[in-house]
Amino acid sequence: MTERKCVGCGEIKNRDELIKITKEHATDSIVINGNSKIFGRSAYLCYNKSCIENALKKNKLQKILKTPISAELKGQLINEL
């Protein structure tokens, strides 16, 4: 099993237990929970409101993906729960 680190809390968990956010290399679009075949920069978050809010509040997600995070995407992430 592959393990990844949550951007919000820093905990290392199984990849299946996390939300995957990927900035697609070809189109620079951001995909939430896309398949593993998408090539690009990825960040992982726990299915936990405090982790998502922490990552957004401190702009951690924006720094890791190296792209601005739209209000629409923030809403989508919070609604994932």
Whether 78 shows a pLDDT value over 80: the answer reads yes
* ∠ Cα 43 46 49 (to 5°): 115
Domains within the chain, CATH numbers bracketed: 3-79 (3.30.1230.10)
Whether 76 shows a pLDDT value over 90: the answer reads no
Q: DSSP for 36-72?
A: TT--EEEEEEES-HHHHHHHHHTTHHHHHHTSPPPHH
For 24-69, the pLDDT digits (tens) are 988 988 988 877 778 899 999 999 899 999 999 999 999 999 999 8
